[in-house]
């Protein structure tokens, strides 16, 4: 039986093996038919103890593990249909687990956490030769979830948020640059959630400066900051459902406080969009209880000379606050919460690490501006501690979140759900990823990639074509001299890009 699980689901093998070993005395009996079998009181007592042990182990994992374990029991009921002893054991354990499972929600809470200005160079779980921020809670998500290697966003804040909210590329909503307002005629993903879901957006909005905008577009509860950022993390304006208040509390901690307060009030499944402003500028040294960089000089001069360690301290403080939020959940609530962590665009040029430099970081359509971290963990994720190379766009979060919520129907033009990839590595994948931005730098316009090649068109008129498998840092432009096979890929990408853009 252990061999059977290992061959089908190697990522759960060690966990499943622990379950089977604790009940080995019963599982061995599955291989010996006994038509006259009659359970003794002692056997019944030990079987109940085994069922309790199995359930306890499963309770410490996501609901997907329990679902898969129940499927395996059903498979073995068919395989050992003539074994009365086996049927009794399997029926007892199945019924025990199903009775407990019925008490759990079949719709997860969904927590979307957005870090502001975070590329792969700073994130744990990606290319370990870079200097990393200390983020133990994010590392815990990685060890309990799935890491996406090819996640594309826009290279700036506003367009990325627009794609998530609407499931559309910016070329369709005209949200293409920083501070572009989202038209109120667009329908947000929250409007398609099942009626049983509560929803809120807490933190950075950056889709309009109008304090009425979040609620007017369809957000039930909004609390956060409307603009690109703050002049000081201790001096900012809180907008909470139209009302505005000046605040002097540390903004990262305040967003966590708001998230804790809101989630504690929820009795139904919920979707929380939690958009921190950290580690966006201004770079600074956070409160001492949120980070471990005690030796850093907090002066502006020291920060200006070497901002990288301060940027990392801000990320560590963000991680500390994420941990505080998760610690506020009950064990049952955490087990039924799916967590999506992402960066909204690349690392700022002042702190991006080699081989990238400022012109290929935030604001640009190079990989350093748009290929950001995406980690999905906990509830409904059975691909534990795995990596996924599939192409994923920020626009895909729209359909994915709605699929995870079991939304009956929704309208989407560009979004492709990757929900099935959380449990099945062979699920449908994108054949291309698209990115765009306008009016922000000489590195702006649009780009498209497939599994190997990337086509990049800049507003300066220059065109680039890269082989990302062999040139991941985009140093060798093949556009003017592609091979015959590369020319075929280039032509296809150009054609798709023109179709997306209606050109």
Q: 225 vs 279, 323, 372, 486, CA distance in Å?
A: 15, 22, 23, 46
Give the bridge partners for 465, in sequence order: 455
Query: How far is it, in rounded angstroms, from Cα 463 to Cα 497?
Result: 13
Q: Are residues 319 and 455 in the same domain?
A: no
Compare 107 and 35 and report the one with higher pLDDT.
107
* 93 lies in some domain: yes
Q: For residue range 9-39, what is the model confidence (pLDDT) as tens digits?
A: 333 333 444 444 444 434 444 444 444 556 6
Of the three residues 75, 101, 127, the one that is the final residue of a domain is: 101
**Residue range 426-447: average pLDDT?**
85
Q: Are residues 234 and 209 in the same domain?
A: yes
Q: Sign (positive/negative) of CA torsion 406, 407, 408, 413?
A: negative
Burial zone of 104 (CB within 10 Å; 0-12 exposed, 13-18 middle, 19+ buried): middle
Of the three residues 377, 393, 428, the one that is the final residue of a domain is: 428
* 439 lies in some domain: no
- For residue 59, give its domain range: 2-101
Place of tokens 């920060």: 303
Per-residue model confidence (pLDDT) at position 431: 97
| Model confidence at 314: pLDDT above 60 | yes
Query: How far is it, in rounded angstroms, from Cα 175 to Cα 208?
Result: 10
Compare 412 and 111 and report the one with higher pLDDT.
111
DSSP string, 289-310: GG-S-TT---SHHHHHH--HHH
Compare 98 and 305 and report the one with higher pLDDT.
305
Per-residue model confidence (pLDDT) at position 353: 92
**Residue range 472-492: average pLDDT?**
95
Read off the pLDDT band of 316 (50, 70, 90). very high
Q: 360 vs 315, 346, 439, 466, CA distance in Å?
A: 21, 9, 16, 14
Read off the pLDDT band of 63 (50, 70, 90). low
**Domain holding 221: CATH number?**
3.40.720.10
* 160 lies in some domain: yes
Q: What are phi and psi of 191, to 5 degrees?
A: -75, -15
Three-class DSSP category at 127 = coil
* 443 lies in some domain: no
* pTM for this entry: 0.81
Q: Are residues 259 and 285 in the same domain?
A: yes
| Model confidence at 61: pLDDT above 60 | no
Q: For residue range 366-378, what is the model confidence (pLDDT) as tens digits?
A: 999 999 999 999 8
Q: For residue range 234-265, what is the model confidence (pLDDT) as tens digits?
A: 999 999 998 999 999 999 999 999 999 999 99
Q: Are residues 94 and 178 in the same domain?
A: no
* 255 lies in some domain: yes
Per-residue model confidence (pLDDT) at position 441: 59
Place of tokens 């840092």: 473
| Model confidence at 309: pLDDT above 70 | yes
Radius of gyration over every alpha carbon of the chain, rounded to an integer in angstroms: 25
**Residue range 420-433: average pLDDT?**
95
Per-residue model confidence (pLDDT) at position 468: 97
99 Cβ neighbours under 8 A, 6+ residues apart: none
Burial zone of 14 (CB within 10 Å; 0-12 exposed, 13-18 middle, 19+ buried): exposed
Q: Is 351:409 a contact under the CB 8 Å cutoff?
A: no
Q: How many separate domains does the chain show?
A: 3
Burial zone of 294 (CB within 10 Å; 0-12 exposed, 13-18 middle, 19+ buried): exposed
């Amino acid at each position: 039986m252990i061999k059977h699980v290992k061959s089908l689901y190697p990522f759960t093998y060690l966990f499943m093996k622990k379950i089977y070993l604790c009940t080995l005395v019963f599982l061995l009996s599955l291989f010996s038919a006994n038509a006259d079998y009659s359970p003794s009181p002692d056997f019944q007592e030990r079987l109940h103890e085994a069922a309790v042990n199995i359930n306890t182990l499963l309770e410490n994992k996501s609901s997907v593990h329990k679902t898969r374990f129940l499927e395996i029991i059903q498979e073995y009921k068919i395989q050992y249909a003539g074994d009365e002893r086996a049927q009794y054991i399997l029926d007892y354990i199945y019924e025990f687990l199903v009775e407990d499972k019925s008490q759990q929600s079949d719709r997860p809470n969904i927590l979307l956490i957005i870090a502001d200005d975070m590329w792969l160079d700073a994130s744990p779980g990606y290319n370990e030769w870079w200097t990393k921020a200390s983020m133990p809670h994010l590392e815990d998500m990685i060890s309990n979830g799935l890491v996406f290697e090819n996640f594309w966003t826009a290279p700036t804040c506003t367009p990325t948020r627009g794609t998530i909210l609407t499931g559309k590329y910016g070329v369709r909503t005209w949200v293409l640059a920083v501070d572009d307002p989202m038209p109120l005629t667009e329908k947000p993903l929250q409007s398609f959630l099942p009626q049983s879901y509560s929803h809120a957006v807490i933190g950075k909005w950056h889709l309009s400066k109008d304090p009425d905008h979040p609620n007017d577009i369809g957000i039930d509860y909004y609390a956060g900051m409307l603009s690109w950022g703050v002049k000081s993390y201790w001096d900012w304006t809180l907008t909470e459902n139209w009302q505005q208040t000046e605040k002097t509390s540390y903004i990262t901690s305040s967003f966590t406080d708001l998230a804790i307060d809101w989630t504690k009030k929820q009795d139904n499944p919920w979707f929380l969009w939690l958009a921190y402003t950290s580690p966006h500028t201004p770079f600074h040294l956070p409160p001492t209880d949120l980070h471990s960089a005690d030796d850093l000089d907090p002066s502006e001069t020291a920060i200006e000379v070497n901002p990288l360690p301060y940027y990392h301290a801000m990320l560590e403080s963000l991680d500390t606050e994420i941990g505080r939020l998760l610690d506020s959940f009950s064990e049952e609530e955490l087990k039924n919460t799916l967590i999506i962590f992402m960066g909204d665009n690349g690392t700022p040029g002042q702190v991006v690490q080699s081989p990238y430099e400022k012109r290929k970081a935030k604001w640009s359509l190079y990989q350093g501006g748009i290929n950001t971290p995406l980690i999905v963990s906990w509830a409904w994720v059975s691909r534990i501690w795995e990596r996924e190379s599939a192409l994923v766009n920020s626009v895909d979060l729209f359909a994915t979140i709605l699929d995870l919520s079991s939304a009956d129907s929704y309208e989407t033009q560009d979004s492709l759900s990757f929900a099935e990839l959380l449990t099945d590595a062979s699920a449908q994948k994108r054949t291309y990823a698209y990115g765009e931005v306008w009016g922000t730098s000489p590195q702006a316009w649009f780009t498209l990639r497939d599994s190997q090649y990337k086509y990049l068109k800049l507003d300066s008129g220059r065109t680039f074509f890269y082989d990302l498998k062999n040139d991941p840092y985009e140093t060798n432009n093949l556009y003017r001299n592609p091979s015959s096979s590369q020319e075929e890929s280039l032509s296809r990408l150009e054609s798709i890009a023109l179709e997306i853009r209606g050109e």
